[in-house]
Structure 1
């Protein structure tokens, strides 16, 4: 399996990520022109984890995104449905409780986590509505969701340049640095097809989340959405 299709069959997506696990973090740094690290820092600020809190980091991959939460003294559960990603994460951080799980059927009880967060993974889930409802279910009343995902640049001329980069420049760059460049063609297509900022906010509200808001990073290439379980 080299790449998934845009109907996002779970076995195809999991297999695709299994195949890029070893070099995934390095490739992301290169393809994002170093912005990926900045985005992770902004997620950590938005989550604002504190000692003793329970944090679910969904689509955690190799658990690189989970480390800032753990550093605060929070109990973080990195969860992903790619076993290849989880195996790679376990090699690097064997002390973390990496957990296999499907975003649409999470293996956790109701009202468990103070914060649930997912970075660059929601658009790879076949049923976005089901995933947002599941995140709501496992969050404690008063808890929050933080979603970091690719979005739509706010300045129209830049949006055109960005789309051209995704579809023309990204695949050859991926060929140079990735073990599975075809997977990054899928990722480019999935970014282009993903809802814009207001549309994702509406999906969060539909799933039950209150106080939904977002802010743009890197001119809207990425957006941070937040919501509260009231």
Structure 2
């Protein structure tokens, strides 16, 4: 089993996800005690998908969140840097005509400026080696007036929640993951990435630095997860050189 180091080398992380892809969703459901489904519902409501929208779902994995968006009638691009995850997603969603699976690096998105009405990423930003560059890319490809929604593990503000949670992720999570799909070392890495990830206010600041406005966040499950949302100004436009500016 591949275990990436703290540099988050994209090739190693991608291969790790390739290896865990067959049982990734099942493992997440069990490890989150079913909360992953509630987080997905909340994220979908924040994206507000509807027919006629074009939505980019980054780090889409097997397309579970993408399928939830697609049920509204929106056109969804499910992007991920793991070929293994995408292969599972294509098989599972073969009958969903409005999902397109695309292999893509979050820091170098292969899409034109102003391509999407909404851009979202769930539990993937912390696995990007340059998350602030990824946020700038998300801003670039989102249309003026569009939104970004980020669902990510975060830092529970209360010690009574935080300390048992960290103990669970350190001692229980890798063992259970290893039993389910032999991925204990991979989940050791994911546990480290959760503990090293910045708090809610820091991520909100990164979103503002990337250009998003009206940035806000909401804690879910006591702050184990945080849902961040921001908007591209309606009067934002791109220059001839392709760099967006806000007026």
Which TM-score band (shorter chain)?
A: over 0.9
Secondary structure in structure 2 of the residue aligned to 1:38: helix
Cα deviation digits, residues 179-207 of structure 1 (max 9, x gap) = 32211110000000001000100111111
Single out whichever of 176-185 and 4-13 deviates more from structure 2. Answer: 176-185
Runs of 4+ in structure 1 off by over 2 angstroms are: none
Counterpart CA distance in 1 for 2:69 and 2:182 is 29
Secondary structure in structure 2 of the residue aligned to 1:57: strand
Counterpart CA distance in 1 for 2:70 and 2:178 is 33
Cα deviation digits, residues 136-192 of structure 1 (max 9, x gap) = 000000100000000011211211111111111111111111232211110000000
Secondary structure in structure 2 of the residue aligned to 1:2: coil
Counterpart position of 1:189: 192
Quick check: 1:83 aligned with 2:83? Answer: yes
Counterpart position of 2:241: none
Counterpart CA distance in 1 for 2:39 and 2:100 is 23
Counterpart CA distance in 1 for 2:74 and 2:91 is 21
Cα contact 2:174–2:183 (8 A) shared by 1? no
Counterpart position of 1:65: 65
Counterpart CA distance in 1 for 2:90 and 2:141 is 24
Counterpart position of 2:19: 19
Single out whichever of 100-109 and 173-182 deviates more from structure 2. Answer: 173-182
Secondary structure in structure 1 of the residue aligned to 2:230: strand
Cα contact 2:2–2:186 (8 A) shared by 1? yes
Cα contact 1:61–1:89 (8 A) shared by 2? yes
Shift of 1:118: 0.1
Counterpart CA distance in 2 for 1:13 and 1:27 is 17
Secondary structure in structure 2 of the residue aligned to 1:102: coil
Secondary structure in structure 2 of the residue aligned to 1:97: strand
Counterpart CA distance in 2 for 1:81 and 1:173 is 25
Counterpart position of 1:115: 118
State the structure with more CA Rg. 2
Cα contact 1:51–1:74 (8 A) shared by 2? yes
Secondary structure in structure 2 of the residue aligned to 1:213: strand
How many residue pairs match? The answer is 230
Counterpart position of 1:207: 210
Shift of 1:48: 0.7
Quick check: 1:42 aligned with 2:42? Answer: yes
TM-score where L is the length of structure 1:
0.98
Counterpart position of 2:141: 138
Quick check: 1:97 aligned with 2:111? Answer: no
Quick check: 1:224 aligned with 2:243? Answer: no
TM-score where L is the length of structure 2:
0.91
Counterpart CA distance in 2 for 1:27 and 1:198 is 29
Gaps of 5+ in 1: none
Secondary structure in structure 2 of the residue aligned to 1:16: helix
Counterpart CA distance in 1 for 2:83 and 2:158 is 38
